[in-house]
Amino acid sequence: MKKRAFPITILLISCISFTLASDAFAGDPNGNHTYSDSIQGLKFSVNFAWTLISAFLVFNMQAGFSFLGAGFVQKKNTLNYLAMSFVDFCVGALVFWLVGFAIMFGGSKIAPGLSSGNQFIGYSGFLLLGDAYDVSTSVLWMFQIMFAATACTIVTGAVAERFKFHAHVFYSVFLCSILYPVFGHWMWGKGWLEMLPIGAGARDFAGSGVVHGMGGLLAFIAAWVVGPRFGKYNPDGSPNVIHGHNLLYIVIGTLTLIFGWFGFNAGCTLAVTDLRVSVIAVNTFLAAASGAITLLYVSYYKPKKSDVIMICNGALAGCVAITASGAYVPHWAAIVIGMIASLITRYSLYFIENKLKIDDPVGAISVHGANGLWGLLSVGIFSDGTYGGVHGLITGSGWQLLAQFIACVTLIAWCFSVGFAFFYTFKRLFGLRVPVNVERTGLDVYEHGTSCYPGS
């Protein structure tokens, strides 16, 4: 456990950057060349404002995930969940600044300093130095780190209540430096999936696949490799319900996530000069609403209870699914997509807990993973051709659906090969799991030295 290495590495890298800072600035670090008192200049301003504020809203989803996950876990493990979901975005930011961003967007030429890269990997923009010290590149980085951080945090919930804190830190480093940026490059950095000569190329507007699908699939792998919580399954394989400790946090978390999701989806145009943003925002809201109401009534019948967790899961499932397709589909389709997403979630929750016997305390695999894939596919079905030249089945063309299907298969293959290799290797080398007696007494005191609610 070379824990000492980490801060030293950062220090070392900082020193190197210090030296590099003497570079001539070829980018535009103060915007004086980018902005001018003209239509073109104002376009930059208004799009900067839009993208940055959207990024801030996406950042606030971290508060949403904190509430949501804290509500789902037991009292004795609350602080551990909060610490993991806080630290992952901090580590993620540093790593994404160091290498992740360069791998993901190098070669995309979306902003200055991102010129080198091919269809499989990017390799320019490291440390936002040189040409990448530019106002346009910074705005892209700001928006994209929030997405990487989201993918990272999604896994946290699925491994809660038994994962080692420092294993989570290492996993965050790996995700934000390799796992996420490489697939992200394929999809968003002018990579081979985006450039696929089928339909309009694989399309994942705001990251159903890139962010939520990846987060959810890695959650699946991590939860599978680390194993279920002590006491989750009886000797006969039947699962026990382990109640969370605060459903108010779950509801507030869901609301906070939806709030951030508006920035997540509508902000993904990176430009409010693209007026489609309004359709995207409406689609996001409608999918959330229809997901919530569908799952409310679908889960109502048997116990005659209105299950609040299912209402929240339904809303989030709708949001996840519409993330890929929100820009391409008409409003009615957003409602249908949300309904189907909520049904998928319900079945997936049952299947994963009872059949696969994988223990996912917050339902991240079903909400983010299953619906991430469904979101990708929904682009191929419901796109009406009004935006981005994307035509789905409802316009009579099946090619887009094929492209989306290829993206799904690729995502699954990527996560299961590299993700599994990482978690399995880490488990063998260092162990992923706290000792069983710690799990019983709670991780908060063991990992963090205090309970979340001292004195109560």
Q: Does 440 bind its own copies (CB under 8 A)?
A: no
| Nearest distance, CB of residue 255 and its own copies, angstroms | 4
Binding to its own copies in span 308-337, by CB under 8 A: 308, 311-312, 315, 330-333, 335-336
Closer to its own copies by CB, 92 or 199: give it. 92
SS (HEC) of the chain: CCCCHHHHHHHHHHHHHHHHCCCCCCCCCCCCCCCCCCHHHHHHHHHHHHHHHHHHHHHHHHHHHHHHHHHHCCHHHHHHHHHHHHHHHHHHHHHHHHHHHHHHHCCCCCCCCCCCECCCCECCCHHHCHHHCCHHHHHHHHHHHHHHHHHHHHHHHHCCCCECHHHHHHHHHHHHHHHHHHHHHHHHCCCCCCCCCCCCCCCCCCCHHHHHHHHHHHHHHHHHHHCCCCCCECCCCCECCCCCCCHHHHHHHHHHHHHHHHHHHHHHHCCCCCCCHHHHHHHHHHHHHHHHHHHHHHCCCCCCCCCHHHHHHHHHHHHHHHHHHCCCCCHHHHHHHHHHHHHHHHHHHHHHHHHCCCCCCCCHHHHHHHHHHHHHHHHHHHCECCCCCCECHHHCCCHHHHHHHHHHHHHHHHHHHHHHHHHHHHHHHCCCECCHHHHHHCHHHHHHCCCCCCCC
Binding to its own copies in span 404-433, by CB under 8 A: none
Q: Does 306 bind its own copies (CB under 8 A)?
A: yes
The Cα 382–Cα 377 span in angstroms is 9
Binding to its own copies in span 230-249, by CB under 8 A: 243-249
**350 Cβ partners below 8 Å, 6+ apart?**
none
Q: How many CB atoms lie within 10 A of CB 421?
A: 11
Binding to its own copies in span 95-154, by CB under 8 A: 97, 127-129, 133, 135-136, 138-139, 141-142, 145
Q: Does 397 bind its own copies (CB under 8 A)?
A: no
Could you tell me which stretch among 155-163, 189-197, 270-278, 360-368 binds its own copies (CB under 8 A)?
Answer: 270-278
Q: Does 220 bind its own copies (CB under 8 A)?
A: no
Choosing from 68, 77, 78, 368, the residue that interacts with its own copies (CB under 8 A) is 78
Closer to its own copies by CB, 415 or 434: give it. 434
Cβ–Cβ under 8 Å, residues 162 and 226: yes
Closer to its own copies by CB, 217 or 315: give it. 315
| Nearest distance, CB of residue 118 and its own copies, angstroms | 26
Closer to its own copies by CB, 224 or 359: give it. 359
The pattern of x and - marking residues 173 through 212 that bind its own copies according to CB under 8 A reads ----------------------------------------
Could you tell me which stretch among 115-123, 210-218, 282-290, 359-367 binds its own copies (CB under 8 A)?
Answer: 282-290
Cβ–Cβ under 8 Å, residues 380 and 328: no
Q: Does 29 bind its own copies (CB under 8 A)?
A: yes
Q: Does 290 bind its own copies (CB under 8 A)?
A: yes
Size of the site for its own copies (CB under 8 A): 138
Binding to its own copies in span 355-394, by CB under 8 A: 384, 386-387, 394
Could you tell me which stretch among 52-60, 220-228, 232-240, 426-434 binds its own copies (CB under 8 A)?
Answer: 52-60
| Nearest distance, CB of residue 348 and its own copies, angstroms | 19
Closer to its own copies by CB, 344 or 408: give it. 344
Closer to its own copies by CB, 221 or 292: give it. 292
| Nearest distance, CB of residue 411 and its own copies, angstroms | 27
Closer to its own copies by CB, 29 or 398: give it. 29
| Nearest distance, CB of residue 417 and its own copies, angstroms | 29
State the residue for tokens 């003209």.
Answer: 38
Torsion (CA) 400, 401, 404, 406 in degrees, nearest 10? -110
Binding to its own copies in span 151-170, by CB under 8 A: 165-166
Choosing from 68, 70, 214, 379, the residue that interacts with its own copies (CB under 8 A) is 70
Q: Does 89 bind its own copies (CB under 8 A)?
A: yes
